[in-house]
Amino acid sequence: MKISTAILSSLVALAVTPTSWVFAQDGTPNIPTTGTASSYACDPNTCKLPTCQCASQSPPGGLKPEEVPQFVTITFDDSIQAKLVETAHALLNVRNPNGCPAKGSWYVSMEYTDFSLVQQWYANGHEVADHTFSHVGTPSAQEIQAARAMLHEYAGAPLGKIQGFRAPFLNYTADTLNEISKQGFVYDSSATAVTDDCYWPYTLDNGMANDCWTGICGAGIKLPGVWEIPMYAVVDNANTAQLMDVYLAGSSQDVTTWTTTNFDRHYNGNRQPFGIYVHPTHLTKFDGVPIVPGAEEPDVMQKNLVEVIQQIAAKENVWFVSNAQLLEWMKNPVPISKLAEQSYMKCDLPNTGKEICNGLQNITVADTGVVSSALTNNCNFNVTNWGTCFNCPSAAPTVDNPTPPPASSDRHAVPDNCDSIWWDPVAGQCLCTTDSCAYKDTAVPVNGTDGKGNGSGSKDGDSAAISISPVVSVAVIGSVAAGAFSLLL
C-alpha cells in the first residue's frame, strides 16, 4: 500500500486579477505504511484515560465495537469566507441521532478570513482550530501563536476552545508537535492512518504511532497529554491511500464507491472514526475562477459528496462530530446509549434575550461576498476588509504583530470568565447568569504573554483585522504527468 504523493498543490492567493498561478510540489516519495511501527510501544496498564491513551485499533475504555458510536468528522481547511461557509453548511446538513445538527471542525488560516464568520461558526457549536497565520509548510512558533491570537481577538473564540492544530500541507514535524504542546494545544490532527495503523485517537505520551515511514515514530517525541487525531485515509481501488479531497481523485461514481467501502470497513470493523477532509474551495463555484484541471465542476462534486454524506447519515449509530467533541468522548468513553445525554453532544443556543454581537446576530452576505450586520465593525486595510464584533486594529495584522492596538475602544474583548456566545461586546457584559453556562478559560499562557500574540494585544475592549482582499483563496491542484493526483494541503 502506498499513499498517493504525486501531488502538486498550492494555495494560490487569487486577488482581484489572477496574475500568477503558483504551483508548489510536495515532493515526497511514495509512502510505505506497513511494518514500520515497531518503534512504538505503550503499556495500557500505566497509560490510562482520561489523560493517557495508547494507540490502538480497538475502541477505548474496553468497549466493544458494537457498543460504540460510529463517529464521522467532517473537517474544513484554510480561510473562512462567506461562500465557503455555505459549502460547509451544505455538507453538514444532517442530524445526529439526538436530533442535534452535525458539527464540524475548521482549521483556519488567517489570510482572506472574515472573522465575523469565524465567530458565527463558533457560536453555532462548530470547532475553530489553528492552521497558522500564513499557511506555511514549516511554521514558526509565531505563525502558530499569531493565528490563535487573531481567532481570539477578532472572532471572540475563547483561547481554551481553540484546542486543535493542523499543519499546512500536513507537513508536521517533531519540532511543530513540540511547539503546539508548549503553546498548550490539546491535539494535533495532521498524521495519516491507513489500515495497519488505523488507530483510534491516542495521546503522544509514548510518541507517534502513525506515519512511521518518516522516522517520526522513533524521533523520541513524548508529549504527555497531547492527543493525535489521525486523519483516516480512504483506500482507492488501486490500493492508494487518499486522504484529503478524495473527490478530486476520481469520478463521482468512483469516489462514492471508495468512500462507502472504506466507511463500511470502519463501521463493520472496530468503528474507528471516519473522516471527510475537504478544502471547501474545490466544492464551491466562484465566477471566473478556473476549476481544478481534470476534475468535475465544483457544484457537481459538492452534490455528490452531499449524497454520500446523507447515505452515511442514514445508517444507525452514526454521529457527525467535531474533533473537539470526539476528544470529549475519548477522554470518557460512554456506550452509544449514553451519548445523547452528554453535555458536549447537546445543541442549545444561548437565550440572551436580545440580539448581541455574539456570532448569532443577523449577518447578511452581499452578492460580492461582503459580509455585514448592523452590529459588526468593518475593518479595512489596503486591499482587504472583514467584519468583527470587536474593535478593528489600527494597522493591518501581520504574523509578527497579529493584534495591533485597536483603532477605537467602544467594543470590549471577551474576558476569560465568559464564553463569547454569552458576551455582549458593546455593553461589555456577560449575559450568562447561571452555573450551566458559566465558563472559565484556563488556556495555558505562552511564555509570559497572555497567549494573545506578542503580549501587546489589548486586555480589554480591543480587536483587529487583517489586510487582504475579500476575494477568494483558491487551492489549485496541478494534474501530474503520471496521472493520479491527490491533495495534501
Beta-strand pair 240-242/274-278: unpaired
3-class secondary-structure state, position 62: helix
At residue 217's C-alpha, the angle toward residues 49 and 184, to 5°, is 50
Q: Which is nearer to ligand NAG, 256 or 449 (CB)?
A: 449
Determine which residue in the list 404, 425, 451, 470 makes contact with ligand NAG, applying CB under 6 A.
Answer: 404
Of 306, 311, 253, which is closest to residue 284 (Cα–Cα)?
306
| Residue 307 touches which member of ligand NAG, Zn ion, none, C-beta under 5-8 Å by kind | none
Q: Does 450 bind ligand NAG (CB under 6 A)?
A: no
Q: Which is nearer to ligand NAG, 400 or 460 (CB)?
A: 400
Q: Which residues, 381 to 400, sit near ligand NAG by CB under 6 A? A: 382-383, 400
Q: Does 479 bind ligand NAG (CB under 6 A)?
A: no
Mark 254-276 as b/e (b = at least 16 C-beta within 10 Å).
ebbebbeebbebbbeebbbbbbb
Residue recorded with cell 496521472: 483
Q: Does 230 bind ligand NAG (CB under 6 A)?
A: no
Q: How far is the CB of 466 from ligand NAG (least distance, A)?
A: 12
Strand partners, 234: 242
Residues in contact with Zn ion, shown as a per-residue x/- string from 77 to 106 under the rule CB under 5 A: xx----------------------------
| Residue 78 touches which member of Zn ion, ligand NAG, none, C-beta under 5-8 Å by kind | Zn ion
Q: How far is CA 3 from CA 81, 199, 211, 318, in A?
A: 31, 17, 11, 27
Q: Is the peptide bond before 393 cis (omega within 30 degrees of 0)?
A: no
Residues in contact with Zn ion, shown as a per-residue x/- string from 166 to 195 under the rule CB under 5 A: --x---------------------------
Interhelix angle 298-313/252-267, rounded to 10 degrees, is: 30
Strand partners, 127: 105
Determine which residue in the list 32, 137, 215, 224 makes contact with ligand NAG, applying CB under 6 A.
Answer: 137
Q: Does 442 bind ligand NAG (CB under 6 A)?
A: no
C-alpha cell at 340: 445523547
| Residue 489 touches which member of Zn ion, ligand NAG, none, C-beta under 5-8 Å by kind | Zn ion
Strand partners, 130: 108, 165
Q: Which residues, 139 to 158, sit near ligand NAG by CB under 6 A? A: 141
Contact set with Zn ion (CB under 5 A): 77-78, 168, 489
Contact set with ligand NAG (CB under 6 A): 26, 137-138, 141, 169, 171, 173, 362, 382-383, 400-401, 404-405, 446-447, 454, 456
